[in-house]
Amino acid sequence: MATAYATLAAHGRLGTYTLVEGVTRGGEQLDLPDPRPRQAVSREAADTTTSILRSVVETGTGTAAQTAGRPAAGKTGTAEDDKAAWFAGYTPELATVVALMGQDPETGHQEPLYGALGVERVAGGGAPAEIWGRFTREALAETPRATSTSA
């Protein structure tokens, strides 16, 4: 989801994201994927989707993500039987996903999140969106705001 949302934030351009600068085998340099972005989705489709996802943060289920303090777009989600909840979002500078998963610590089986974090029910617009907003605010604290208004 983070890669998909980063593509939307970049007006439909998909980049190759890697921390690897080079790979050799037996002293021979191996080819890496082309790092140049390519248009994966039309700009119009990406920007229209961003507009819709901005409304989720501005007036919809993801308003808790406004704590990012930047223009943001995103989507909340809650799994069947409330076994997981997430917020996937982006600003012009950063795309991230926060997911909370219910799991029995002894068996490893998925469990509903009822009562987790001291709340009756955990949904994507609650704790995941709040965590996303705080993380994004801190992660971008030293980053100038992008001049683009699309995200």
pLDDT in tens, 1-46: 999 999 999 999 998 777 788 899 999 999 988 888 999 999 999 9
At 84, give phi and psi (nearest 5°): -160, 155
What values do phi and psi take at 73, rounded to 5?
-135, 150
Give the torsion through C-alpha atoms of 76, 69, 98, 13, to 10 deg: 80
CA 100 – CA 126 distance, rounded (Å): 11
Rounded CA separation 77/99 (Å): 9
- pTM score, two decimals? 0.84
- Render pLDDT for 128-151 as a digit per residue (tens, 0 to 9): 999 999 999 999 999 998 765 455
Token pair in block for residue 114: 């009822």
Mean pLDDT score of the chain:
92
